[in-house]
């Protein structure tokens, strides 16, 4: 811990494609400090100067009620140890490719941080659920986020596993191929909206977001019921081999879609069991820290010994 820390509190940024979240985390119980969370709009397509400025602006909302050792959860591709962007042709953050985000951000934040540790946002989610959520106490856990894409964390004794034969490449479920296509093209917000539009015979731009489709499903919309059931069954089949190989004690599902747990869980379980029968008894849990798992996980990561 830095001698500059104030009461041990950890300032954290979570970077998303459309938002930035800043908060202060108290490691005593791994809780976000009340009334410190600030969420700002963020356009990942802007130039590097604008992106760094936006990050610094989010950091400034925290004032001085924290220590000097920061943590940042960000999507990849990113060199997390070096703090350098590796984005290229991903549709967002491309301007940060080759940029030393750590040093640029340290120079932009006032007072200047003593250190900044970076962690993959999906790993941060898993670490947050392990620290005080649905994966707490699990020796091995797979944590999946469902939203604009599929995020994943494979945890062994609370440590992310991102290499080896027991996990997908880079420990990333979004790199899995299902029926000849990336799994995200079957289970993601865009994929579900597209499938509903095709099944209902309406333009995709007229299809509401997934949470509205979930409401329609509960109200008896048979197209919504079929599309959502198929999507989450496919998710189970697409994940089954990797999950079975990792042998987790629990599979945790987070992200915006997990809020429709009554729809996600039974279909996901069917898909898992059909592809790998012994997964039919695997505990499935809805994430408990839907709003702050990545913030807490980034703070947890910041306290790990440096490589």
HEC profile of 206-229: HCCCHHHHHHHHHCCCHHHHHHHH
Phi, psi (deg, nearest 5) at residue 113 = -60, 145
When pLDDT is cut at 50, 70 and 90, the band that residue 80 belongs to is: very high
> 41 exposed, middle or buried (CB, 10 Å; 0-12, 13-18, 19+)?
exposed
Superfamily of domain 137-286 in the CATH hierarchy: ATPase, nucleotide binding domain (3.30.420.40)
Residue 63: the pLDDT is: 84
State the sign of the Cα–Cα–Cα–Cα dihedral 68, 304, 86, 181. Answer: negative
> Cis link prior to 111 (omega < 30° from 0)?
yes
pLDDT(191) > 80: yes
pLDDT tier, 7 (very low <50, low <70, confident <90, very high otherwise): low
Q: Is pLDDT above 70 for 228?
A: yes
Model confidence band, residue 3 (pLDDT cutoffs 50, 70, 90): very low
pLDDT of residue 1: 41
What integer is the mean pLDDT of 65-88? 90
Please report the pLDDT score of residue 282 as a whole number: 97
CATH code of 10-124+293-302, in short, is 3.30.420.40
The H or E element spanning position 70 is strand 69-74
| 270 pLDDT higher than 90 | yes
Domains 10-124+293-302 and 137-286 share a fold: yes
Q: In terms of pLDDT, which residue wins out, 154 or 67?
A: 154
Confidence (pLDDT) at 300: 96
What value does the mean pLDDT of the chain take? 92
What mean pLDDT comes out for the span 193-221? 96
Residue 175: count other Cβ atoms within 10 Å of its Cβ: 14
**Per residue in 121-143, pLDDT tens?**
999 999 999 999 999 999 999 99
Which residue stretches of 2-74 are H helix? 48-60
Q: pLDDT digits over 85-127, tens only?
A: 998 777 788 899 999 999 999 999 988 999 999 999 999 999 9
- C-alpha 113/C-alpha 104 separation (Å) is 11
Task: Say what the pLDDT of residue 218 is.
Answer: 97
Please tell me the predicted confidence (pLDDT) of residue 65.
67
Strands 84-85 and 78-79, sheet pairing: antiparallel
Band of pLDDT at residue 307, cut at 50, 70 and 90: low
Highest mean pLDDT among 1-5, 22-26, 301-305: 22-26
Lowest-pLDDT range of 71-80, 222-231, 242-251: 71-80
* Ranges of each domain in the chain: 10-124+293-302, 137-286
- Would you state the pLDDT for residue 2? 43
| φ and ψ at residue 23, rounded to 5 degrees | -160, 165
What is the average pLDDT across 264-287? 97
Mean pLDDT in residue range 151-165: 95
């Amino acid at each position: 811990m830095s001698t500059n820390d104030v009461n041990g509190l950890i300032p954290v940024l979570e970077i998303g494609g459309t938002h930035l979240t800043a908060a202060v985390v108290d490691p005593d119980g791994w809780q976000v400090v009340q009334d410190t969370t600030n969420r700002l709009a963020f356009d990942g397509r802007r130039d590097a100067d604008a992106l760094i400025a936006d990050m610094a602006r989010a950091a400034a909302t925290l004032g001085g009620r924290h220590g000097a050792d920061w943590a940042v959860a960000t999507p990849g591709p990113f060199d997390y140890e070096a703090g350098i962007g590796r984005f290229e042709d991903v549709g967002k953050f491309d301007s940060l490719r080759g940029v030393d985000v750590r040093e640029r951000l340290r120079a932009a934040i006032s007072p200047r941080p003593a250190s900044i540790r970076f962690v993959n946002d999906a790993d941060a989610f898993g670490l947050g659920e392990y620290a005080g959520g649905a994966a707490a106490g699990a020796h091995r856990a797979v944590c999946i986020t469902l939203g604009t894409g599929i995020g994943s964390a494979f945890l062994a004794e609370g440590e992310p596993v991102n290499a080896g034969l027991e996990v997908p490449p880079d420990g990333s479920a979004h790199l899995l191929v299902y029926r000849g296509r990336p799994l995200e093209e079957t289970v993601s917000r865009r994929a579900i909206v597209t499938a509903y539009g095709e099944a209902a015979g309406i333009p995709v731009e007229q299809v509401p977001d997934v949470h509205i489709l979930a409401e329609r499903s509960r109200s008896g919309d048979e197209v919504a019921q079929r599309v959502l059931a198929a999507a989450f069954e496919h998710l189970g089949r697409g994940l089954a081999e990797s999950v079975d190989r990792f042998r987790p004690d629990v599979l945790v599902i987070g992200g915006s879609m997990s809020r429709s747990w009554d729809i996600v869980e039974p279909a996901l379980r069917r898909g898992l069991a059909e592809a790998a029968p012994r997964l039919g008894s695997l505990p499935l849990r809805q994430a408990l820290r839907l709003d702050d798992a990545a913030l807490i996980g980034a703070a947890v990561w910041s306290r790990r010994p440096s490589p």
